[in-house]
Amino acid sequence: MLAVLVAAFLATFLIDWAVTLPAVGATPAPTASASASASSAPADTAPASTQPCTVSPTNGCIQGTITDSDREPVEGVDVDVTGPDGFSRTATTADTGRWSVSVTQAGSYTVSVDQSTLPKGQYLTNAADAKRKVTANLNQNVGQIFQLSDQRGVTTTDDATSVTPQRAWQQFASGIRLGLLIALASVGLSLIYGTTGLSSFSHGEQVTLGGLLAYLFANQLGWNIWLTGVVVTLLCAATGYLQDAAIWRPLRRKRISLTQLMIVTIGLSIAAQYAFQYFFGASTVRIQQGNPETIAFAGVTLTVQSYVAMAIALVVLVATGLFLAKTRFGRATRAVSDNPALASASGIDVDRVIRFVWTLAAGLAGLSGVMLGLVLNGVNWQTGLQLLLLMFASVTLGGLGTAYGALVGSMIIGIVVELTNLVLPGDFKYATALVILILILLFRPQGIFGRAERIG
């Protein structure tokens, strides 16, 4: 907790220092005379804008990408944005398929695609989707992606939710992406339980910390995103080391019960959440500015950040698995997870292994936060809390205390949650994780790779 608060304090200091500089390229606010002239002129008389938008404390951006049926960017499509106090702007897609509109007031906006400007033979995949409601905030990007098809889109909202093979395949790929990113955090959570018997409710805040520190370094300080990822992972790993040194080891020495330790993790979680909210604010922030580029592969369209995040997560998970299976320290970790007393009798330094597990778990969770912030186009003070149920469902499904089980469980949860979005709207899909968790506890409480144990 001390490490989290120190990191948050330093983060706030650096943010305050960074934002004192004027935003480069910021558009000056219109004068009163200009506003009066604009109100007397016909709406949308100015030419549509193709200039990119840059966020600042007084400016937000609504932006997106339009691609055709071949997943190629579309140029020259007009997108109208209307909002509070008569706000009305039109943006035209550039040769990259991107469009953006700058807003100076937070609120609800309507984004509409002018279908008369679509290329010949190209249509929105869902005609009813031509007009969308979005919520914009200052110093924040909100993105919208419109996909075109060579067939006319449906005109009713009922058809818009119909299950098609193409839509199912897209959601399946999104499920693999979500599963890999959840696995980064779940593996550490499972290792903590395996070596200490503790279910850490504050593990989600390590994910949040990683995303917010990445926002600080990459967005506010302008660091290279690759350097940011490495530094954030190391800093988060250091917080895990300090947590065990300052909190968990002294409590273990005093033989505090697991129930009491779990209550401590809940308190630590709440304290960290409010610390994040105090220092970083309650709004969603983006690690990287600008519209994400999309790539179509095997009938699936994902952002470049998604493909990179999936590749990094896969490499890290494979490396973690090989470490646990092939190295001496990895075998010692598995020995402590199986039977701490026997491992200690065999000459293994159990405290050292547990300290390493806390460090590794915090580092993996921090990396997961960075990847999630890039893939989801934003991170806020409760990002980790929203994912905590998915993480617990994953480790329970795979088998508590089993790193390999956490990986398999995360993949299953990620895929099922995203496929549920075919029939359930919005964030209702996350309720699927709760249903799976209940079914696991009813029919196979030990999980897929867990061992059944007799109690009593």
H helix or E strand, kind and range, residue 410: helix 403-420
DSSP track, 76-116: S-EEEEE-GGG-EEEEE--TTSEEEEEESS-EEEEEEE-GG
Please determine, for residue 9, whether its predicted confidence score (pLDDT) is greater than 50: no
Instruction: For the chain, give the number of residues.
Output: 456
Inter-CA distances, 206 with 1, 36, 233, 382, 400, Å = 11, 50, 10, 11, 20
Name residues whose C-beta falls within 8 Å of residue 447's C-beta, 6 or more positions apart in sequence: 395, 396, 397, 398, 399, 400, 402, 405, 409, 440
328 pLDDT band, cuts 50/70/90, is very high
Which amino acid is it at 313? A
**Maximum average pLDDT range among 97-106, 306-315, 413-422:** 306-315
Question: Which SS3 state, helix, strand or coil, does residue 387 take?
Answer: helix
> Binning pLDDT at 50, 70 and 90, where does residue 224 land?
very high
Tell if the pTM clears 0.75, that is, is over it. Answer: no
* Mean pLDDT along residues 259-267: 95
User: What is the set of domains in the chain, with CATH numbers?
Assistant: 58-162 (2.60.40.10), 168-443 (1.10.3470)
Element at 336 (helix H, strand E): helix 328-338
Q: Strand pairing of 131-136 and 123-124?
A: unpaired
For residue 407, the model assigns a pLDDT of: 93
- The pLDDT tens digits of the residues spanning 427-440 come to 677 788 888 889 88
What tokens appear for 363 in the block? 């580092």
**pLDDT on residue 128:** 64
What is the identity of the amino acid at 455? I
Q: Residue 149: what pLDDT?
A: 74
Q: Which two tokens stand for residue 306?
A: 């998604």
3-state DSSP percent of the chain in helix, strand and coil, to 5: 55, 15, 30
Q: Is pLDDT at 258 greater than 70 in this prediction?
A: yes
Provide the 3-class DSSP secondary structure of residue 44: coil
